[in-house]
């Protein structure tokens, strides 16, 4: 991945480093990756065409192999692919086992033994004849879901979660601190467990399995809690809990906004579900409630003052990456220049799906993120940038 | 100072918000049984709408809990215990994964009170998802479920000695089942082919829909859930007393609600 196999001369001291036409490596803003991936997932939700879906997977694979870092969270994409396979398999198997019979137009494949279910369990059939069409439709639908899952996986792989934590609103400052603490403490816990186990071996602790649980858990927990008290003292001495600019009035206002917003959300949820509720109670009430809650969160953020050390910039590459994802979704939803039926090819009559050119181009456009984003930091110096906490 | 130290106090306003949030949570999980026929066009839209809804609700609840003040000791303990949870989560057997999380969550909720339990449920899953790269639309549902497991553990009735451990063990295994039931419900509407006889079919009467869901739950995850329930029961019974003592000692040393005096 490190394409910068540098044979260049070292830069002259005091000058801007010569990048020889290449861009300087830096991490893209995590929100840009998330927008890109979610837009692609939205585009995927529109289509059922297996050719387009495989194209999406190829694009994801290309972008990830171009722009992923060496960080621990960047190794997870393979698990998402396994998960995707499982999703497809579950869908196909369940379609075959919990069948609903076949029509005369279907191609008969094989028949599973029919198992009768009791009368009171009406509507659920087990076994019976299985058709090719049923399995194909289950597989393509499953593939769509799997593709959406892989888009989310790609965002997880590409975006740096520690830097994403900064996007949390000020009202959730405490949550962010707790999560940051836990991410930094987790590796120390592993060391703690190793220390305890070594001590047990030295003392010839013979218990194995579940019986050893107590002997390991308690010392590790004691260690962790001890550490938390030390950490709290350190936080106190560095001025944690400093009050922000919130006045008594603005706090009351925050509370009122939140409560009103929650009531709006409740009314909206009720309106969404009940058929007799007036139209206004559905999505409009939900949106109004959400807006009130967001306003409350903004106002509540005044409780704390935060300063940013090394802000993540939002420059041209961020606009470009987010933009190509959104544009690809917009193209697929606009239906311009292609027949919408080509996105969801029918399985009656059974035929090989065609690859419509405009949607394919739209998906390839999303793949442009692979070179629009700046290259990630070279693998030799990941320790400095990825270990740093917010 | 009582035996049950409350690390994070829930103010009346936060209590009201939590009550509203639990109503919304019930709706967000149980909508397949509650919705009137013909209200939703696609099976993909409602889980997303309710997922966004749950994110907002969680933000509001956490912000309201924090409004009452989380002192540095409670916050540091929150961070460290979520690290413990995030570290032991992958120890559980594979993808179901939540088996071992409940163990610390239930015990900590019991000792440090409902507010702490709620927050710990959220931060544990959040930290774990960030570390393992598991952020996604399923997270609000998981966080919501875990938050309520932790909070309800803090609201359990008074008991001491063996009865307390037994009560917590039973609660741990029951909550394991309930968590599995709810989480399955959250992805059931879109995870199966609509023509399958155990898939969600909009517009069916409640009993038939419920039968379909039960069959789905039985076929997919009853084994997992049983494993989770058993693990919880065994862990709490074996290590529960010692861990409870450890937590209580830490609570005494931290003196969360120490009176402030100026002289």
Lowest mean pLDDT among A133-142, B10-19, B193-202: B193-202
Whether B211 has a pLDDT exceeding 90, the answer reads no
B219 touches chain A (CB under 8 A): yes
Question: Percentage of residues in chain B with pLDDT exceeding 90?
Answer: 1
Whether A175 has a pLDDT exceeding 60, the answer reads yes
Helix orientation angle between A316-334 and A30-46, rounded to the nearest 10 degrees:
10
End-to-end CA distance of chain A: 27
B134 touches chain A (CB under 8 A): yes
A251 and B13 in contact (C-beta within 8 Å)? no
Lowest mean pLDDT among A47-61, A159-173, A339-353, B226-240: A339-353
Indicate the pLDDT class of residue A113, thresholds 50, 70 and 90. confident
Whether A50 has a pLDDT exceeding 80, the answer reads yes
Are the Cβ atoms of A91 and B35 closer than 8 angstroms?
Answer: no
Contacts B220 to A, Cβ<8 Å: 90
State which residue of chain A sits closest to B231, comparing Cα positions: A210
Are the Cβ atoms of B79 and A182 closer than 8 angstroms?
Answer: yes
ipTM of the complex: 0.83
Least Cα distance to B98 among B200, B214, B231, B242 occurs for: B231
Per-residue pLDDT tens digits for A252-301: 888 888 889 888 888 888 888 877 777 777 788 888 888 998 888 888 87
For chain B, the average pLDDT equals: 81
Are the Cβ atoms of A179 and B215 closer than 8 angstroms?
Answer: no
Are the Cβ atoms of B133 and A228 closer than 8 angstroms?
Answer: no
d(C-alpha B79, C-alpha A176), whole Å: 10
**Predicted local confidence at residue B177, as pLDDT:** 84
A144 and A44 in contact (C-beta within 8 Å)? yes
State which residue of chain A sits closest to B136, comparing Cα positions: A152
Indicate the pLDDT class of residue A326, thresholds 50, 70 and 90. very high
B55 touches chain A (CB under 8 A): no
**Predicted local confidence at residue A324, as pLDDT:** 92
Q: Which helix (H) or strand (E) holds B26?
A: helix B12-34
- Tell me how close the Cα of B40 comes to any Cα of chain A, in angstroms: 8
Q: Which of residues 131-150 of A touch B (CB under 8 A)?
A: 134, 137-138, 141-142, 145, 149
**Predicted local confidence at residue A364, as pLDDT:** 92
- Given B56, B86, B135, which is nearest A290 (Cβ)? B56
- Given B39, B76, B130, which is nearest A235 (Cβ)? B76
**Predicted local confidence at residue A384, as pLDDT:** 44
d(C-alpha B27, C-alpha B188), whole Å: 15
Indicate the pLDDT class of residue A59, thresholds 50, 70 and 90. very high
- ω into A349 cis (within 30 of 0): yes
Indicate the pLDDT class of residue A8, thresholds 50, 70 and 90. very low
A162 and A69 in contact (C-beta within 8 Å)? no
The helix, strand and coil proportions of chain A, stated in percent and rounded to the nearest 5, come to 65, 5, 35
- Tell me how close the Cα of B176 comes to any Cα of chain A, in angstroms: 19
**Predicted local confidence at residue B94, as pLDDT:** 46
Domains of chain B: 12-254 (1.10.1760.20)
Are the Cβ atoms of B72 and A232 closer than 8 angstroms?
Answer: yes
Are the Cβ atoms of B131 and A181 closer than 8 angstroms?
Answer: no
Contacts A95 to B, Cβ<8 Å: 192-193, 195-196
Are the Cβ atoms of B79 and A95 closer than 8 angstroms?
Answer: no
Are the Cβ atoms of B246 and A222 closer than 8 angstroms?
Answer: yes
- Residues with Cβ < 8 Å from A255, sequence gap 6 or more? A296, B13, B64, B67
State which residue of chain B sits closest to A84, comparing Cα positions: B191
d(C-alpha A102, C-alpha A128), whole Å: 9
Whether B131 has a pLDDT exceeding 70, the answer reads yes
Per-residue pLDDT tens digits for B92-106: 544 444 467 788 889
For chain A, the average pLDDT equals: 79
**Predicted local confidence at residue A301, as pLDDT:** 79
Per-residue pLDDT tens digits for B139-168: 888 888 889 888 898 888 888 888 888 998
């Amino acid at each position: 991945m490190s394409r910068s196999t540098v044979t260049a001369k070292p830069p002259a001291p005091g000058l801007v480093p010569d990048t020889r036409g290449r861009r300087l490596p830096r991490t893209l803003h995590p929100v840009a990756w998330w927008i890109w991936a979610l837009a692609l997932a939205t585009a995927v939700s529109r289509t059922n065409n297996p050719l387009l879906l495989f194209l999406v997977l190829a694009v994801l694979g290309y972008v990830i192999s171009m722009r992923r870092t060496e960080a621990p969270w960047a190794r997870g994409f393979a698990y998402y692919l396994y998960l995707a396979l499982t999703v497809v398999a579950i869908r196909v198997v369940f379609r075959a086992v919990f069948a609903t019979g076949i029509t005369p137009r279907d191609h008969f494949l094989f028949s599973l033994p029919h198992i009768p279910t009791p009368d009171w369990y009406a509507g659920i059939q087990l076994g019976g004849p299985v058709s090719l069409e049923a399995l194909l439709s289950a597989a393509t639908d499953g593939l769509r879901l799997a593709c959406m899952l892989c888009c989310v996986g790609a965002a997880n792989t590409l975006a740096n979660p520690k830097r994403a934590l900064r996007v949390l609103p000020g009202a959730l400052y405490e949550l962010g601190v707790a999560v940051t603490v836990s991410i930094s403490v987790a590796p120390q816990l592993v060391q703690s467990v190793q220390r305890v186990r070594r001590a047990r071996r030295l003392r010839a602790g013979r218990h194995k399995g579940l019986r050893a649980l107590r002997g390991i858990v308690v010392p590790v927990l004691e260690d962790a809690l001890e550490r938390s008290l030390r950490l709290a003292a350190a936080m106190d001495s560095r001025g944690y809990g400093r009050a922000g600019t919130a006045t008594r009035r603005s706090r009351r206002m925050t509370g009122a906004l939140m409560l009103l917003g929650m009531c709006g959300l409740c009314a909206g949820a009720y309106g969404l579900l009940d058929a007799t509720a007036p139209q206004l109670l559905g999505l409009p009430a939900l949106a109004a409630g959400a807006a009130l809650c967001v306003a409350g969160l903004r106002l509540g953020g005044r409780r704390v003052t935060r300063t940013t050390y090394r802000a993540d910039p939002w420059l041209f590459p961020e606009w470009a990456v987010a933009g190509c994802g959104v544009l690809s979704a917009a193209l697929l939803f606009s239906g311009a220049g292609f027949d919408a039926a080509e996105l969801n090819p029918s399985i009656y009559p059974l035929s090989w799906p065609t690859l419509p050119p405009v949607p394919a181009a739209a998906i390839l456009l999303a793949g442009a993120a692979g070179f629009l984003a700046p290259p990630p930091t070279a693998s030799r110096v990941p320790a400095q940038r990825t270990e740093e906490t917010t | 100072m009582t035996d049950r130290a409350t690390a994070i106090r829930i103010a009346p306003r936060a209590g009201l918000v939590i009550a509203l949030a639990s109503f919304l949570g019930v709706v967000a999980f149980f909508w397949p049984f509650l919705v009137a026929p013909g209200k939703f066009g696609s099976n993909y839209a409602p889980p997303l709408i309710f997922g966004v809804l749950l994110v907002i609700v969680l933000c509001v609840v956490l912000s309201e809990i924090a409004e009452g003040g989380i002192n540095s000791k409670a916050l540091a303990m929150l961070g460290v215990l979520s690290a413990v949870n995030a570290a032991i989560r992958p120890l559980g057997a594979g993808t179901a994964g939540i088996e071992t999380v409940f163990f610390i969550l239930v015990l900590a909720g019991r000792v440090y009170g409902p507010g702490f339990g709620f927050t710990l449920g959220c931060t544990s899953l959040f930290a774990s998802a960030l570390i393992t790269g598991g952020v996604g639309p399923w997270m609000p549902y998981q966080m919501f479920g875990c938050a309520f497991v932790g909070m309800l553990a803090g609201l359990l009735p008074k008991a001491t000695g063996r009865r307390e451990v037994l009560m917590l063990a039973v609660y741990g295994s029951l909550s394991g089942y309930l968590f599995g039931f709810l989480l399955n419900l959250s992805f059931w509407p879109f995870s199966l082919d609509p023509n399958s006889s155990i898939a969600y079919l909009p517009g069916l009467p409640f009993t038939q829909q419920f039968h379909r869901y039960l069959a789905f739950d039985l076929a997919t995850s009853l084994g997992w859930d049983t494993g989770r329930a058993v693990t919880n029961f065994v862990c709490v019974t074996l290590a529960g007393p010692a861990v409870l003592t450890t937590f209580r000692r830490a609570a005494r040393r931290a003196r969360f609600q120490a009176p402030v005096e100026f002289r």
